[in-house]
Chain A
Amino acid sequence: MRAGLLLALLAAAAPAAAHEAAPAARPAPAVAPALPEPGTYELPPITRVADARLLDEQGAPAPLLGLEPGQLAFVSFVYTHCADAGGCPLALATLQRLDRLVAADPALRGRVRLVTVSFDPARDTPEVMRALRERMRPAGDWRFRTAPDAPAIAPVLAAFGQDALPLVDASGRESGVLRHLLKVFLVDDAGAIRNIYSADFLSAELLAVDARTVLMDARHAAVEAP
């Protein structure tokens, strides 16, 4: 199976990606808003999603979320043929950085899961998702999911409100490009979406602060108590 365009791009960028965990390797943003203190603000449930049965990188049935009490997940939907710099590559770069932050943080490690799901199952087979995993080299709990076919992933996309529209060319033929707005979803152990991030405000550090904020909720504290 031919690897997707995104994988090829990421492979070409391997030296840069290898430094991704080092903050100094990133270009300084023109303006860096200060991060809020965890627990000083609210992230009320926006909507709820049910867990779903998908396929893991080995092609075996696996849950989308599979969260234990007191855990949460950052769910992102991508496709490996994506060539939009503000889309899947941005999401994966941010998630890779978040993965490193979580793995290095005792308060988050084991409680925060990353789930990356393809909305292009026809091309993103389990084998392709395995290649993506190998490229991302997770340091923590980062899972990769696809589906047997497009109808199998459609209800999951609908539940999350993730668009993915095949673009057609002037003659009506599919172009292979899937138009989508980049979104990353923070989901708690009750299936409540607690925040949704877009390309304009996607920062691994902020996601980590939000994770701490959700985990500091009384409900989760109770789960944690002996």
Chain B
Amino acid sequence: MPRRPASVRALPPAVRVAVALGLALPLALAAGAARADEPCQSPYLPKIVGQEDFLYVWTLGIEGLGDGSDKLVTVSVNPARPDYGKVVSSVSVGGRHEAHHGGFTDDRRQLWLGGLDTSEIFVFDVASDPARPKLVKRIGDFVEASGGAVGPHTHYPLPGRMLISALSNREGTGRTALVEYSNDGRHVRTTWMPEGAEYGYDVRVNANLNRMLTTSFTGRNNYMRPLPELMADAEAMKQFGNTVVLWDAHTRKPLQVFEVPGAPLEVRWALQPGHHYAFTTTALTARLWGFFRKDDGTFEAVDLAPIGDPAKTPLPVDISLSSDDRFLFVSTFNDGMVRVFDVSNPRAPRVVHEQQIGRQVNMVSQSWDGKRVYFTSSLLSQWDKTGEDDEQFLRAYDWDGRTLTPRFSIDFRAESLGRPHIMNFGSEAFYQGRVAAVAAGGAVGGE
């Protein structure tokens, strides 16, 4: 989708300075340099704004299926390729670590993938051969170096380093921290979550505002426990986060704590100039929340809408905001649905589409241009459904603004792969320096 024209006043700082210097903007914007700008992930990461070539799918091993190990599965997703819709490579890391989330370094040359159970981080080189990533490093000191944080979750690139939100600690409770590593794999610092808001889950930065939001989930004692058993334990069910924290991104100091009941998980900042707000959804209470900047610079949290019927616990687990800030895709694990909210008016979101994706669904990722949407099925190894309902798939769709049209589906059980979780986009052109890959919008990546 084309980006909305912006007034000079609303332009990002880089362009404002260019205006101040009297630089030739049309020339500058056509030059094809990769600028730090991004739909769903970090503003520091270059984007793939055109057709992505690959999906990198971090996949949990299943005992007795294939080699039983966690693996990085690379899938061809460019219709122009002869292997479209097929697995093109798979790299096992050995053992099951509760493969979950991961992210690129800020140069997009490495993909870091974390294990929530063992706290090990696997670093893949995706630049040398984007179709066949190579495991080049294992970071095994996360717990020790961080001073006791456990469960590396979001891997969020900052310039020259990786900001990682952890989920737990050595005791297995939800008190946790933000942990930073240099791109070369050395611990830089640990910032523990503030008192009264000790739980952690996602972390996202709005660089222009110098603000950062963190959300909250639960500790290892809960996320590694079989779900039926956990839900029958009333005390354990109290051990979930109910807070979202707003931070000064530069100093890593908490500024505001919001009460957001029911485990607020993924959080996304709006991307367009002047859109000073963010969204999250609560897993247990099935609500869509917004965080809006007020005139005095502080933020307010607003309970915006239900997601499906909260009484039926649809369990919203992932969200994806289109790069024009119009559509928010919300996937709900229990009913296997995606609901698309029109959030053009961010304080009055409305559902414009609902569709069944599978018997269970977890992650949802869309391309920068909003034309393609991908889903995976697995939530956590101990929380996925059982029997026939335990479908494990990657499904690709086209989105035309009204409906999702299936393009292909890969059965991760039939392929002896495992439980697919987070997806990241890959591109061959990006690493080959082909202008065509970066000219549109001056960006090169995205989820």
Does B31 reach chain A (CB closer than 8 Å)? yes
Residue A165 contacts which of B37, B276, B433 (CB distance < 8 angstroms)?
A: B433
Contact at A84–B33, with CB atoms within 8 Å?
yes
Distance, CA A165 to CA B37, complexed state (A) = 18
Contact at B35–A16, with CB atoms within 8 Å?
no
A26 proximity list for chain B (CB < 8 A): 16-17, 20
Contact at A85–B13, with CB atoms within 8 Å?
no
Contact at A198–B34, with CB atoms within 8 Å?
no
Does B306 reach chain A (CB closer than 8 Å)? no
A89 proximity list for chain B (CB < 8 A): 17-18, 21, 23, 28
B189 proximity list for chain A (CB < 8 A): 42, 44
Contact at A13–B23, with CB atoms within 8 Å?
yes
B186 proximity list for chain A (CB < 8 A): 47
Q: Annotate A158-178 by CB proximity to B: 1 below 8 A, 0 otherwise.
A: 000101011111100001011
Contact at A30–B273, with CB atoms within 8 Å?
yes
B386 proximity list for chain A (CB < 8 A): none
Residue B13 contacts which of A17, A178, A202 (CB distance < 8 angstroms)?
A: A202
Task: Determine the residue in chain A with the shortest Cβ distance to B24.
Answer: A9
Contact at B15–A200, with CB atoms within 8 Å?
no
Main secondary structure of the interface of A (DSSP, over half): loop
Size bracket, chain A contacts:
35 or more
Contact at A200–B12, with CB atoms within 8 Å?
yes
Does A20 reach chain B (CB closer than 8 Å)? yes
B209 proximity list for chain A (CB < 8 A): 31, 33
Q: Annotate A1-38 by CB proximity to B: 1 below 8 A, 0 otherwise.
A: 00000000110110111001000011111110110100
Task: Determine the residue in chain A with the shortest Cβ distance to B36.
Answer: A198
Residue B33 contacts which of A17, A86, A198, A203 (CB distance < 8 angstroms)?
A: A86
Contact at B107–A181, with CB atoms within 8 Å?
yes
Interchain residue pairs with CB less than 8 A apart (28): A9-B21, A12-B22, A25-B20, A30-B9, A31-B209, A31-B276, A33-B211, A33-B297, A42-B189, A82-B33, A83-B24, A84-B31, A86-B35, A87-B14, A165-B431, A167-B434, A167-B435, A169-B435, A170-B435, A175-B435, A180-B33, A181-B35, A181-B106, A182-B36, A185-B160, A199-B35, A201-B249, A202-B13
Interface residues of A (CB under 8 A from B): 9-10, 12-13, 15-17, 20, 25-31, 33-34, 36, 40-42, 44-47, 82-87, 89-90, 93-94, 161, 163, 165-170, 175, 177-183, 185, 193, 196-203, 206
* Known interface pairs A13-B21, A84-B31; 14 further A-B residue pairs with C-beta atoms within 8 A, sorted by A's residue number: A13-B22, A13-B23, A20-B20, A31-B209, A41-B250, A47-B182, A86-B12, A86-B442, A87-B14, A168-B433, A177-B31, A177-B33, A181-B106, A199-B36
